[in-house]
C-alpha cells in the first residue's frame, strides 16, 4: 500500500481496464476476507450453537418461569389486582377454583398442577401436597361460596402467605431463583430476608469454591515452577523424558486418574499401607486422606498441573540462558539475578497458567464428586444436583449465571493487573 501512495505518484492510479486501483484492490481483498470467513464459518456456527445459545438459554431460564400464568391463566390476571391484605376476594377464589379444575384435566407438560405445586414448593417448602391433594378434590366445588369450600378442603388455604406467593409467581419473570442462589428468600410479608442459617448453603459453598480454587492454583504454581524450569533448561534427552512424564498423565482419562488417587489414598490404600508397614503410624490411626477436602485438593492439583506446566515451560524455553549468565558476570548473586532477571520474564507464563488453572478449578465437577466426600464439594456439584436430581433447572441456571459472572469479574481484574496481552500460552 505504501508503494501506491509513494510521493509524486498521480492521484488516481487505474488498472489496465480503467478501474481505479483502490477499488480493484478492495475487491480482491474482500474476496479473500470472504474466503477466510467461509473457512471459519463452521467454527462460528459451532460456537453459536454450542456456546452462545445454551448460555443465553441458561441466563434466560434463571429469570423466566411462566408456570404460574401457564397453569392458572385467568387467576394470574385477577390476582394482580389484590392489595395483599386479608385474603383475596370471593371472585378471585372462584377464578382460582375454576383454573385449578381445568389444570387438573390438563396433561400438557409445564401446564399441570404438579408443575405449579413444584414451583410453589420452591417458595414455601412443604406446600406441594396442598396443591396436589386439593387439585384432586377441587372439581367437586361447583358453586359458591368458593372461599369457604376451598378452606373446607384444607385449612392452609386460609394462609395469606400462600396467596401472596401465588400473586408473586403469577408473573412470567421472577427474581426468586437468584434470591435462592444467594441464600435469600421472600418471607410472609414479601420482604427479602436471609434464609435460616441451617439452610444456607450456596454462599458458603461459593466462598469455599473460590478459596479452594485459589489454593489449588497456588499449589500448582509452586509445584510446576521448578518442573518447568528443569524442562526448559535440562539437556534435550533428559528433558524429553521428563516431558513424557508430564504428558502421560495428561493423556490419561480423568476418571482413571481420579480413581487411581482413591486407590492410593483410601484408608486401606497404598499410602496408608506403606505408612503402617514402616511403623510410621499404627494400624488404628490410619489417616483419612480421601473423601474430604484433602482428597479434592490432591487430586485436582495433580489433574490441573499440566495446565500450569505447559504455559510456564513454553515461556521459559524462550528465555535465553545468557541473560542469567550476564547478570551473574556483572556481580549479582544467584537469588538476586533470579528475582530481578529470570522471574520477571516468566510472568506471562505464570499469568497464563494461573488464569487457566483457576478458571478450570472453579468449574470443576467430576473429581470433587468422586473424592470430595462431604466437605470437599464445590459449587458445580450443587449445580449438577439441581440439573440432574432436584430438576430445579432455574435455580441451577441462576447458580451457573453467578458462577459465570464471577469468572468474568476475575478475568477483568486479571486484565487490569497483568494485561491479557501479556498472557502466553506458548
Partner 1 sequence: MKKFLTTSLSVLALGAVSTAASAEGSLTAVSWGGAYTKSQVKAYHEPFTAKTGIKINSVDYSGGIAEVKAQVEAGNVSWDIVDVELSDAVRGCDEGIFEKIDASTLPAGADGKPAQEDFLPGTLHECAVANIVWSTIYAYDDTKIGDKKPTTMADFFDTKTWEGKRGLRKGPKPNLEFALIADGVAAADVYEELAKPESIDRAFAKLDTIKASAVWWEAGAQPPQLLADGEVLMTTAYNGRIFNAVAAENKPFVIVWDGQVWDIDLWAIPKGAPNMDKAMEFLKFSTETQQLANQAKYIAYGPARMSSAPLVGKYEDGKIDMGPQMPTAAANLANAVQNDFEWWADNQDALNERFNAWLAQ
Q: How far is the CB of 88 from partner 1 (least distance, A)?
A: 24
Q: How far is the CB of 58 from partner 1 (least distance, A)?
A: 14
Whose Cβ is closer to partner 1: residue 324's or residue 377's?
A: 377
- Cis peptide upstream of residue 145 (ω within 30 degrees of 0): yes
> Going by C-beta distance under 8 Å and a sequence separation of 6 or more, which residues neighbour residue 86?
160
Whose Cβ is closer to partner 1: residue 206's or residue 355's?
A: 206
Alpha helices in 330-363 (DSSP H): 334-337, 343-362
Whose Cβ is closer to partner 1: residue 1's or residue 38's?
A: 38
Radius of gyration of the chain (CA): 32
Inter-residue contact 104 to 138 (CB < 8 Å): yes
Whose Cβ is closer to partner 1: residue 267's or residue 318's?
A: 267
Whose Cβ is closer to partner 1: residue 118's or residue 294's?
A: 118
Calpha distance 149→96 (Å, rounded): 12
Q: How far is the CB of 267 from partner 1 (least distance, A)?
A: 6
- DSSP states of 81-136: G--SSSS--HHHHHHHHHHHHHHHH--STTSSHHHHHHHHHHHSTT-HHHHHHHHH
Whose Cβ is closer to partner 1: residue 76's or residue 112's?
A: 112
Whose Cβ is closer to partner 1: residue 249's or residue 373's?
A: 373
* Positions that interact with partner 1 (CB under 8 A): 38, 41-42, 106-115, 117-118, 121-122, 125-129, 132, 198-201, 204-205, 208, 266-268, 291, 373-375, 377, 382, 385, 387-392
Look up cell 483410601; give the residue. 266
Calpha distance 19→283 (Å, rounded): 91
Burial track 149-180 (b if 16+ CB lie within 10 A, e otherwise): bbbebbebbebebbbbbbbbbbeeebebbbbb
Whose Cβ is closer to partner 1: residue 42's or residue 331's?
A: 42
Q: How far is the CB of 68 from partner 1 (least distance, A)?
A: 15
Q: How far is the CB of 101 from partner 1 (least distance, A)?
A: 16
Q: How far is the CB of 38 from partner 1 (least distance, A)?
A: 7
Q: How far is the CB of 268 from partner 1 (least distance, A)?
A: 5
Whose Cβ is closer to partner 1: residue 42's or residue 235's?
A: 42
Angle, CA of 120, 131 and 188, to the nearest 5°: 45
Whose Cβ is closer to partner 1: residue 73's or residue 114's?
A: 114
Q: How far is the CB of 269 from partner 1 (least distance, A)?
A: 9
Give the CA count within 13 Å in the CB-facing half-sphere of 103.
31
Calpha distance 118→62 (Å, rounded): 16
Burial track 200-211 (b if 16+ CB lie within 10 A, e otherwise): eebeebbebbbe
Q: How far is the CB of 95 from partner 1 (least distance, A)?
A: 22
Give the CA count within 13 Å in the CB-facing half-sphere of 139.
9
Query: Quick count: other Cβ atoms within 10 Å of Cβ 265?
Result: 22
Q: How far is the CB of 272 from partner 1 (least distance, A)?
A: 11
Question: What would the grid cell of residue 413 be?
Answer: 481484574
Amino acid at each position: 500500500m505504501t508503494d501506491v501512495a509513494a510521493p509524486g505518484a498521480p492521484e488516481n492510479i487505474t488498472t489496465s481496464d480503467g478501474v481505479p486501483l483502490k477499488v480493484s484492490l478492495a475487491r480482491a481483498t474482500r474476496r479473500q476476507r470472504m474466503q477466510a470467513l467461509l473457512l471459519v464459518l463452521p467454527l462460528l456456527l459451532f460456537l453459536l450453537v454450542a456456546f452462545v445459545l445454551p448460555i443465553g438459554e441458561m441466563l434466560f431460564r434463571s429469570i423466566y418461569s411462566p408456570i404460574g400464568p401457564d397453569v392458572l391463566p385467568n387467576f394470574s390476571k385477577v390476582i394482580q389486582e389484590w392489595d395483599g391484605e386479608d385474603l383475596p376476594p370471593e371472585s378471585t377464589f372462584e377464578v382460582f377454583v375454576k383454573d385449578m379444575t381445568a389444570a387438573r384435566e390438563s396433561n400438557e407438560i409445564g401446564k399441570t398442577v404438579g408443575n405449579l405445586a413444584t414451583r410453589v414448593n420452591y417458595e414455601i417448602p412443604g406446600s406441594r401436597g396442598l396443591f396436589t391433594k386439593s387439585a384432586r378434590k377441587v372439581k367437586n366445588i361447583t358453586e359458591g361460596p368458593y372461599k369457604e369450600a376451598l378452606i373446607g378442603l384444607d385449612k392452609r388455604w386460609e394462609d395469606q402467605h400462600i396467596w401472596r406467593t401465588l400473586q408473586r409467581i403469577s408473573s412470567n419473570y421472577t427474581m426468586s431463583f437468584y434470591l435462592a442462589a444467594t441464600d435469600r428468600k421472600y418471607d410472609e410479608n414479601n420482604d427479602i430476608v436471609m434464609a435460616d442459617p441451617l439452610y444456607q448453603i450456596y454462599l458458603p459453598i461459593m466462598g469455599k469454591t473460590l478459596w479452594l480454587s485459589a489454593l489449588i492454583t497456588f499449589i500448582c504454581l509452586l509445584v510446576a515452577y521448578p518442573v518447568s524450569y528443569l524442562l526448559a533448561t535440562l539437556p534435550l534427552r533428559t528433558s524429553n523424558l521428563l516431558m513424557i512424564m508430564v504428558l502421560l498423565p495428561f493423556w490419561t482419562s480423568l476418571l482413571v486418574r481420579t480413581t487411581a488417587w482413591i486407590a492410593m489414598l483410601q484408608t486401606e490404600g497404598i499410602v496408608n499401607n506403606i505408612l503402617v508397614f514402616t511403623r510410621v503410624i499404627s494400624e488404628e490411626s490410619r489417616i483419612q486422606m480421601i473423601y474430604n477436602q484433602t482428597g479434592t485438593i490432591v487430586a485436582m492439583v495433580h489433574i490441573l498441573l499440566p495446565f500450569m506446566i505447559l504455559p510456564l515451560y513454553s515461556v521459559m524455553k524462550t528465555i535465553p540462558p545468557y541473560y542469567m549468565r550476564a547478570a551473574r558476570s556483572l556481580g549479582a548473586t544467584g537469588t538476586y539475578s533470579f528475582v530481578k532477571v529470570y522471574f520477571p520474564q516468566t510472568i506471562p507464563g505464570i499469568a497464563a497458567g494461573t488464569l487457566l488453572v483457576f478458571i478450570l478449578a472453579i468449574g470443576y465437577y467430576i473429581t470433587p464428586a468422586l473424592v470430595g466426600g462431604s466437605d470437599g464439594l464445590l459449587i458445580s456439584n450443587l449445580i449438577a444436583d439441581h440439573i440432574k436430581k432436584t430438576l430445579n433447572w432455574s435455580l441451577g441456571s441462576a447458580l451457573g449465571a453467578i458462577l459465570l459472572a464471577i469468572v468474568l469479574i476475575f478475568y477483568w481484574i486479571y486484565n487490569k493487573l497483568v494485561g491479557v496481552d501479556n498472557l502466553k500460552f506458548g
